[in-house]
Structure 1
Amino acid sequence: MTFFLNSLKICALACLFWVSAVSADAKTTSHISMAEVLANIEHFYVDDIDANKLNQHAIESIFKQLDPHSEFLDQTELEALFNVANGRYTGLGIEVEQREKHIVIVAAIENSPAQTAGLTKGDILLKVNDVSVINQPIKQVSQLINQQQKPHVKLTIARNGHEQPLLFKVERKKIDLKSVKGNINSQGIAYLRIINFNNHTLYDVAKELAHLSQIVAGEINGLIIDLRDNPGGILDSAIEVSDLFLESGVIVSTKGRFAEANQEYYAQEGDVLGGAPIIVLINEGSASAAEILAGALQDNQRAQLVGTRSYGKGSVQSLIPLGDGQTALKLTTAKYYTPSGRSIEGSGILPDYPVLQHNFAHNGDFTQPQTETFINAKVHDLQLEKAWQLLEK
């Protein structure tokens, strides 16, 4: 799970939890209502029990049996999810994932408080406000950050190359998640960085491409789409953006156990670039919706991919509202497949041109050689340079 939504698909479904119990001799199986079990404990257990806490523990134990992307969302979490999907939320601006006993920062969102403070990809959270978060689940760490009454949160970080922990004071504030930015040179070669996929990404991409075309007073002659460290977002958004560059063919298909989870999504006629060549940049931080776009363009032979193997998050989560209307399940309901039938779950997408490089800042100024001081050395954006070379051919 991450602080950002990896994939969003709203479904109106009812859900009941049931627990299966197998008898000692394994000859019979009975179905026991979770609600009945909890009610009996609440009424007959020898000591007073906090019913809300008991229910919470029961729910958490169920989700531990599922994949890490499925979870119960309370009212606050559900509201935050919708805010992120709409391109705004209040927080630090970090995307994280659980790696064994550690919470690791996958990305500090551009122009966020976290990036301003100096947090970066690969940092490991050790403490939040002097409270250890080692061996703590992401959900509890998120609550620890959000329950802070003061506007600033103190984070203790372990970083590669530093023997001692680093301390950061990061402000929690409202963040507008800009999903797209671009640039273009005098030859009409455009650069488009898609930072995430939210409800506004299709509009933002189309608007940016139109703006870049106006700058050179003509057609775009080639396009570099930068999906590096893009954590994903909304499934429909990735499909819509893919459709901008495809004349026909399958964009993505999804497969699950219930009928509505089995879908194929097709491109409609009309390529916004009129067939101009496309290079897509990916790396190990390109996940979910970003992989849908990369896979769709690669399999339909519309683009060539440069960089390193993508993250490999190939599942779709659906929101299933619960009876009170204020909580929901975020449940993995399907896996998605690229047009050629590839499932990238756990394996990712391989680039056509593998190019390794050190970390650097995606600043979008691709018209000049990009460098950044990294361990006292100048590091070029080798992946972007390769993309430029391919478009020059």
Structure 2
Amino acid sequence: MVAPPFFLPILLFLYATIFARMQYLRMWIVYGRVLAEKECQKTAPTLTEEERSIDMRTLRLFTVAITGLFLALAPLGAEAQNSQSPEDAARERVVNEVIGLVRDSYIRVLTAEELTELRNNCIIALESDEYMRDCMAQLDPHTRYVTPEALDEFEDAQRPKSFGGVGIVVRHSDDPPGIMVVDIIEGGPSERLGIKAGDVIVEIADESGEMLSTADMMIEETVDLMRGAIGSTVRIKVKRVDEETLISFTITRETIKPKLVYKELKPDGIGYVRLENFGRNATQDIEDALFALVRKNNAPLSGLVLDMRYNLGGLLYEADGVNDLFLTRAPYTTRLGFDEDAATTVQIEARGVLSDYKRFVVGPSGDVLRGAPIVILVNGVCASACELVAKTLQMHGRAIVAGVEKTFGKGTTQSSIPLRSGGKLLLTTYQYVIGPRGCEEPVQGVGVIPDIFLKRAEGEDPIEFSERTLPHAIGTSGISNANCQYHFSVPPAHFDATRRMLGILGLEPIVAPPQE
């Protein structure tokens, strides 16, 4: 807002004075005409030349004053209108476009008051480089605005190709608060520096070199800071178990080639496959790994351990593809034909309505394991697409889920919407529910509960950070499955096989689930 010119009060005073004088003179002129009328009824009341002259001079003064006032105020209005910089005007256009998308497509319908408050909060923050970040965080933890400048880097991170990184896998830590290293990529820069699994990153440098606390940082933010140009460096401080002081590392980023799938043939023809995330080609990579294990075993696998611990999710269509590897259409085909309701795996709910969309078993080649037992390993980090696979195979009686705790509980999906500014909005548009039609169960805020709970490894702390602990998390679907007509159960022999497979991996089941 621009302050008014110092001479504006003077103009307003002159206007008021001249207008008052004109009214005063006109009053006396009219009063004189009335008196004359009383004295001489035969003479029509007319104005003298002097009266006309006074009236015209007053009118001209009034006109000049009004014109001067208008000319003085016009630049003021133009100055106020043009006070917004081109950069702020462009940002405001982004805000308006984003608010429109939120109004029309967000997972829930926002009231007019909520939309107004959201827009105002975005406008207030226009001067900040993070002007959209904070106001979008008011919606839910996963809706996000990507600036045009950051778009290339963001999209590169989604592609299954090498990148400049430090060679570690991380998750949240509650004690101490920060980001914990859970795995080290062999031969990477972090391994050579002596960084260990279990180290907790408590501080990390941003692009300017300023050290930031990771206590309240999202994993995505930490990963963004660890990635960068090959040959550049990033500084971190870690807290190590049994070490009183923090340890500082300066890591030179190197080319990291991510591996989605790790495979190993265990004794008794048991296949072990660890899936890091549901990136592009995850389905094909798993299928290739399974056939490689079969070739190495010289026989079909007697069982499979699908390890998805610390799997943060990824592309939902890859999750659908993994489900199709292990599900066959046969159980859902009767003499009356294919029962799509029974074979439904995923449906979506938006704005309180279960949509007509439903994903059902495709499985054109059938179950690649030919019915062999499957145990899926999960923990509190398994999220999104990871939960979709675990829940689908569990509900359709195709796999037994085992873990030390239930999964993270992220059952929402974000739509990637290009903006006219060149940026992109990742907008939460729906949550998915899983199971046969009429038997649906939500994941959002609930997670996947293991069929078999496992004993924690020595020194392994429970993961207390979950979707429902995040600020502004979307609520759980209120869908009812009271009239469920489909029930699929795992063959009893598969539980015995699961315990044998867990024993081979050194994992011990417990009788009672852990207390929340």
Is the shorter-chain TM-score for this pair beyond 0.5, marking a shared fold? Answer: yes
Q: How many residues align?
A: 337
1:385 equivalent in structure 2: 506
Q: Would the aligned equivalents of 1:108 and 1:114 in 2 still touch at CA under 8 Å?
A: no
Could you tell me which residue of structure 2 aligns to residue 256 of structure 1? 350
The equivalent position to 1:133 in structure 2, one of 208, 213, 218, is: 213
> Displacement, 1:236?
0.9
Gaps of 5+ in 2: 1-95, 104-111, 330-342, 461-501, 510-516
Q: Judging changes above 3 Å, is the alpha-carbon distance between structure 1 residues 135 and 231 closer, same or farther for their aligned structure 2 residues?
A: closer
> Is the helix fraction higher in 1 or 2?
2
CA-to-partner distance for each residue in 1:346-392, whole Å, 9 max, x for gaps? 3321111100222799xxxxxxxxxxxxxxxxxxx87933599xxxx
The residue number in structure 2 matching 1:162 is: 243
For 2:136 and 2:122, locate their aligned partners in 1 and report how far apart those are by CA, in whole Å.
17
Q: Give CA-to-partner distance per residue, 1:30-83, whole Å, 9 cap, x none.
A: 9879999999x9xxxxxxxxx9x6274431232121212111112454333433
Q: Which amino acid aligns with 1:104?
A: I
2:137 to 44, 58, 64: 64
- Partners of 2:198 and 2:351 lie apart in 1 by 36
Q: Are the structure 2 counterparts of residues 187 and 354 from structure 1 closer, same or farther at C-alpha, using a change threshold of 3 Å?
A: same
In 2, Cα distance between equivalents of 1:38 and 1:67: 15
Residue in 2 aligned with 1:328?
424
Alignment of 1:205-224 (within 5 A): 205-224=286-305
Flag the 1:119–1:135 CA change in 2: closer, same or farther, 3 A.
same
Matches within 5 A, 1:1-393: 15-17=97-99, 54=127, 56-75=129-148, 77-88=150-161, 89-92=163-166, 93-95=168-170, 103-105=178-180, 107-108=182-183, 110-111=185-186, 113-114=189-190, 117=193, 118-120=195-197, 123-128=200-205, 131-133=211-213, 137-138=217-218, 145=226, 151-185=232-266, 187-248=268-329, 249-257=343-351, 263-269=357-363, 270-308=366-404, 309-324=406-421, 326-339=422-435, 340-358=439-457, 384-386=505-507
Structure 2 distance, partners of 1:115, 1:330, is: 34
Q: Which amino acid in structure 2 is aligned with residue 196 of structure 1? A: N
For normalisation by structure 1, the TM-score amounts to: 0.72
Alpha-carbon separation, structure 2, partners of 1:349 and 1:67: 21
Cα deviations across residues 302-357 of structure 1 (Å, max 9, x unaligned)? 01111122122221112111114x42111211112221422222332111110022
Which structure carries more strand by proportion? 1
State the distance in 2 between where 1:341 and 1:36 align.
Answer: 38
How far off is 1:145 after superposition? 4.9
Question: For residues 356 and 307 of structure 2, what CA distance do their matches in structure 1 show?
Answer: 30
Residue aligned with 2:400, SS: strand
Q: Are residues 236 and 386 of structure 1, via their aligned partners in 2, closer, same or farther at CA, if it must alter by over 3 Å?
A: same
Q: Aligned residues: percent identity?
A: 26
- Retained in 2: the 8 A contact 1:180–1:195? yes
Are the equivalent residues in 2 in contact too, given 1:113–1:171 (CA < 8 A)? yes
5+ long unaligned stretches in structure 1? 1-13, 21-27, 42-50, 362-380, 389-393
In 1, distance between residues paired with 2:416 and 2:175? 26
Query: Quick one: distance in 2 between partners of 1:251 and 1:259?
Result: 18
Shift of 1:175: 1.9
Task: Tell which structure's C-alpha radius of gyration is larger.
Answer: 2
